[in-house]
Structure 1
Amino acid sequence: MAHPHSWVDLSVTLETDDQGRVTALRQVWRLDPFYSLVLLEEARAAEDGQDAALDRLGGDMLVNLAPRDFFTEAEVDGKALAFAAVSEATVMARDERVVLHFRLPLAEPQDLAGSTLEYRVFDPSYYVEVVHEADDEGPLAQALSVPDACQASIIVADPDPEKVMAAAQLDVDDSAPQGLGRFFAETGRVSC
């Protein structure tokens, strides 16, 4: 009954231009198996077919996530970055999971030489938990792909026990306090 209610496995690739500046965060979201099952059953039952239904789903996701910067916040050396509109996106079914691919461009390219970029992807309400692709030993190397001249790490969230308790006490119909999800967000860190 407590939050979260759905889960996303995340992979991020830093995209760079010919000058080595970061231009976008290319993201892949794999929705959890149960939510995927529900969405795929609806898509398969659609009169115009699964592919058309998934295209509509993708459009709905883009519309809903755009005002929240696709649940993404990023900064370079502590200075917040702005994003431009998503320029490419697709939704597909893969291995019985719904997968959203999209390119989230930065408003301005960022030179990371001697700098550190950090990002977090999270639902502010903590209705959806977003974590990097992982196995039993932790985040996978391919969960964060960066240019060769950079080093990447994923810092697992370590929320205050009070925040964990607050999330656990929320009923299925309760709204979480805005910003609760940030306390549970993993941080991708890239130093160049």
Structure 2
Amino acid sequence: MQAVKQCASGLFLALLSFSVVAHPHSFIRMKTQVLIENGQFIGLKMRWTMDEITSADLLYDAGNAKPGDEIWKKLAAEVMANVLGQHYFTEVWHHGQKVKFLNRPTEYGMEQVAHQAVLTFILPLAEPQPLGGQQYTFSTFDPTYFVDMSYTKASDATLPSAAPQGCKLAVQTPKPGEEVLNYAQSLDKADAPAEDMQLGKQFAQTVTLTCP
């Protein structure tokens, strides 16, 4: 396969060319833990595992680097800068209003697990949010749907042991209509969906955090 430098919403340093003509072209499997401190919602701890094809160039650049080597810090910083440029690819909502984030993660890193690159980071909320009697929703997606970002199972979104009693999470997976599915299948790598369509959002899973 021939490596082709190509940006997918600015998230990856490179994608490899392969024989697929429909969206998406890359896959990220996510795990997210809600962060809670002093009974307040303070952020999200994320773990993104990239598919093997997407990981290939990153791992090539890392070579035989050991965990903690400087190259991993450099690669993590480059990928994280692009993630930040897209507001973490994440939206958090409360009472119909977007919850704001800090401009920088409090920590981040990259590692290799088997043949895959794994990015971990903490997405901090700009202000701690109350939990008692509240409901929040959050979702992570690439608006263009070049990258499929999803949870393999509902248990990949978790609460910490510090969560107030009775708080719970629910993961909802959307079922886009046939028209949207056909449109996504019709796009190839040279095509970009209309920006106002937010194609990726129509496929995005939503996690609901509810506390009594």
- Return the match for 2:90 from 72, 89, 107: 72
CA distance in 2, matches of 1:125, 1:169: 13
CA contact (8 A) 2:154 2:171 kept: no
Letter in structure 2 aligned against 1:28: R
TM-score (structure 1 length as normaliser): 0.88
| Identity level (%) | 29
In structure 1, the gaps of 5 or more residues are none
Q: Deviations over 1:75-123 (max 9, x none)?
A: 1232210100211100000122111000000011111211111001000
TM-score (structure 2 length as normaliser): 0.80
Q: Deviations over 1:8-32 (max 9, x none)?
A: 01111111112x1000111110001
**What RMSD, in angstroms, separates the aligned Cα atoms of the two structures?**
1.6
CA distance in 1, matches of 2:134, 2:52: 38
Structure-to-structure mapping, 1:27-176, within 5 angstroms: 27-44=46-63, 49=65, 51-84=69-102, 85-132=104-151, 134=152, 139-141=153-155, 143-146=156-159, 147=163, 149=165, 150-176=167-193
In structure 2, the gaps of 5 or more residues are 1-20
In structure 2, the CA distance between the partners of 1:66 and 1:12, relative to structure 1 (3 Å rule), is: same
- Return the match for 1:25 from 35, 44, 47: 44
Q: CA deviation at 1:144?
A: 1.0
CA distance in 2, matches of 1:79, 1:114: 17
Number of residue equivalences? 182
Divergent runs of 4+, >4 A: none
Letter in structure 2 aligned against 1:67: G
Q: CA deviation at 1:67?
A: 2.3
Q: CA deviation at 1:140?
A: 4.2
